[in-house]
Chains A and B, each alone.
Chain A
Amino acid sequence: MQIPETLRYSEEHEWVLVDDGVATIGITDHAQEELGDIVFVELPAIGAELAKAATLGVVESVKAVSDVYAPIGGTVTAVNGALADKPETINEDPYGAGWLVKVAVADPGELDGLMTAAQYRDFLAGGKA
């Protein structure tokens, strides 16, 4: 299971990478593995305002539905349109081509509430998932 050191993580198994005030958000390797083969992704509209912990979208496998929550608040500046035709990209490359949305971060301070890779690894090991 991959947990890149460069990212921050939420307890709901989202990852965040902030670069120049824009956060790229996706679901973790653990999350995609738990869901199984992903068949459908529902993403917000560009321009949507997301509060931290608000529902950002939905990821579905054949027999499960999972809400994705915004690990950090802000305005949606881009969504990964390629997932509509190839949702399996999330399974294949959750931290890369399988990203979900980009958000212009409203409050960079919110990042501090998220886990580091080491903390997320402990969180998963603690069975609290």
Chain B
Amino acid sequence: MSLPAGVLRGGLLPEPLIFERSTPGRTGADCDPHEVGGPAPDAVLPAALRRDDGLVGLPEVSELDVVRHFTRLSQWNLSAATTLYPLGSCTMKYNPLVNEALVRAPGFADLHPLLPDAWAQGTLELMDRLADFLRTVSGLPAISLQPAAGAHGELTGMKMVRAYHEDRGDPRNRVLIPASAHGTNPASAALCGYTVTELPANQAGILEVATVREHLGPDVAAMMVTNPNTIGLFERDIQAIAEAVHAAGALLYCDGANMNALLGVAKPGDMGADVLQFNLHKTFSTPHGGGGPGAGPVAVSARLEPYLPTPRLVRDADGLRWSEDFPKSIGRVRSFHGNVGILVRAYCYLRALGGDGLVDVTAMAVLNANYVRARLADVLPLAFPTPSLHECVFSDRELEATGVRTLDLAKRLLDYGFFAPTIYFPLVVPGAIMIEPTETESKQTLDEFIAAVRAIVAEADTAPELVKEAPHSTFIGRLDETRAARRPILRWQPAAAK
């Protein structure tokens, strides 16, 4: 432990690793192994197959120890429930608590995935209705709910792209991706055996159809586009791009990471998309969980429908059932049926809001982002002056003289009680500061945030060291990431093992 126990700092208590709280012989929960008789392990497992180390390395603590430990740890986090979390591209909106209550109902939580379909009709019905909602929102005719996260949806989508071309006897090997794309796009394409060509945007931050045409060729399997792009700008040429891509025999992949800007505004299917992955933890409010679990359903155009992962949900006279009878399918992308617990929450959200509520989501998300943009544009330069939708991206180029960089501004924001925006992404903007306030933030909160950013920009002039050494009020100071990477310590080990 790095501080003497009992020293309160900013209302928070220090806490060692759970392993360092151990007392030999203590346990927080137990079970009588003899309850139903049966043989002892050594009677049925040969010594060479038995574990004989007494599970060394696991903690030995009481239930109250565990409660205190994880309660204290949780208090060291800022979260969307604590404060504005303007992490661009991540859509950190409010996660309705009712959804958390509903998903824990035993009828959903205790359902085994291999029960006969007739015994799981409630969950199947929910999944089918969710699929309908998502088809309508995407403007695409078919969907799989299987992928576990956005990047998993990308992988699934690109596997379908590959299956489509191979099925036509025209395997292709290259994918076009704008330079501003998330890293998951090129990584997913590479996992499907494609090489990647990066395309630049124009001076306004927009991808031009001429650029796309220039790079298209008979070896191009697909173009992957995020719309609105990662700068929050709507790709106005998208329909022409789709046309060019299709004319070259390639497919259009739309990354749905920014769907929060499109509800009731534009449907990817109408833009010409052949594949779209949703990020339910972004657009449809399921909690981000400190990094998942999310869900990444994939909607596709008619020409890709035969390749959707199996099993697929089909309806017949007896109700809904799973079918494997799709010979062109790419197969499974995970075990069982998806992150169903996340699907239940997303369904609750969609059902509660309805079509009218979803339109309001995007309208207010766009208003909030443009409000922040308008109120900060005089103190921070915009990456592009082009009209933007649900997020706004600034650069740190005017701070250069003060020596304060984007990283410092982000750290100083923590002192003001806000989580930091996404920084240094997209890579095409030097010192990028990407702010996505989302629709659930009030004007008061936005005003406080705006005031904080303006105050920090002023501090950069008057007291640059204050900003460069931030954060000052957090539980722990700026951390040495270099040291962590040079000599990685990735686990706690019992003293004897070190």
Contacts and interface: CB of A to CB of B under 8 A. Distances in A.
A–B: direct contact at CB < 8 Å: yes
Interface of A: 37, 39-40, 60-63, 87-88
B425 to A, nearest CB: 11
Contacts of A63: 424
A23 B481 CA distance: 34
Nearest to A88: B486
A62 B482 CA distance: 6
5 contacts: A39-B482, A39-B486, A40-B486, A87-B486, A88-B486
Chain A interface main SS type:
loop
B485 interface: yes
Contacts of A88: 486
A48 B300 CA distance: 47
Interface string B481-495: 110011000000000
Contacts of A37: 482
The CB with the most chain B CB atoms within 10 A, among A37, A60, A61, A87, is that of: A37
Contacts of B424: 63
Interface residues of B, number: 5
Interface string B459-498: 0000000000000000000000110011000000000000
Interface of B: 424, 481-482, 485-486
Contacts, number: 14
Nearest to B481: A62
Contacts of B486: 39-40, 87-88
A39 B486 CA distance: 5
A63 B486 CA distance: 12
A5 B482 CA distance: 32
B315 to A, nearest CB: 49
B354 to A, nearest CB: 43
A87 B487 CA distance: 10
Contacts of A61: 482
Contacts of B481: 62
Given A39-B482, A39-B485, A87-B486, 11 more contacts: A37-B482, A39-B486, A40-B485, A40-B486, A60-B485, A61-B482, A62-B481, A62-B482, A62-B485, A63-B424, A88-B486
A61 B483 CA distance: 11
The CB with the most chain B CB atoms within 10 A, among A60, A62, A87, A88, is that of: A62
Contacts of B485: 39-40, 60, 62
A39 B485 CA distance: 6
Contacts of A87: 486
A125 to B, nearest CB: 19
B54 to A, nearest CB: 35
A61 B482 CA distance: 8
Contacts of B482: 37, 39, 61-62
A27 B485 CA distance: 20
A48 B485 CA distance: 28
The CB with the most chain B CB atoms within 10 A, among A39, A40, A63, is that of: A39
B182 to A, nearest CB: 16
Contacts of A39: 482, 485-486
Nearest to A40: B485
B51 to A, nearest CB: 35
A115 B25 CA distance: 69
A70 to B, nearest CB: 23
The CB with the most chain A CB atoms within 10 A, among B424, B481, B482, is that of: B482
A40 B424 CA distance: 22
Contacts of A40: 485-486
A37 B486 CA distance: 9
Contacts of A62: 481-482, 485
A35 to B, nearest CB: 11
A42 to B, nearest CB: 14
Nearest to A87: B486
A37 B424 CA distance: 17
A63 B425 CA distance: 12
Q: Lowest 3 CB-CB distances: which A-B pairs, in order?
A: A39-B485, A37-B482, A39-B486
B411 to A, nearest CB: 15
Contacts of A60: 485
A87 B482 CA distance: 11
A126 B485 CA distance: 34
Nearest to B424: A63
A90 to B, nearest CB: 12
A73 to B, nearest CB: 25
B468 to A, nearest CB: 16
A46 B481 CA distance: 31
A1 B483 CA distance: 25
A127 to B, nearest CB: 14
A87 B424 CA distance: 25
Nearest to B486: A39
Nearest to A37: B482
A61 B484 CA distance: 11
A63 B407 CA distance: 13
A80 to B, nearest CB: 16
A33 to B, nearest CB: 15
A77 to B, nearest CB: 27
A126 to B, nearest CB: 19
Nearest to B485: A39
A87 B485 CA distance: 11
Nearest to B484: A62
A62 B487 CA distance: 12
A40 B486 CA distance: 7
B422 to A, nearest CB: 14
A60 B485 CA distance: 10
A63 B481 CA distance: 10
A37 B485 CA distance: 10
A36 B83 CA distance: 33
B486 to A, nearest CB: 5
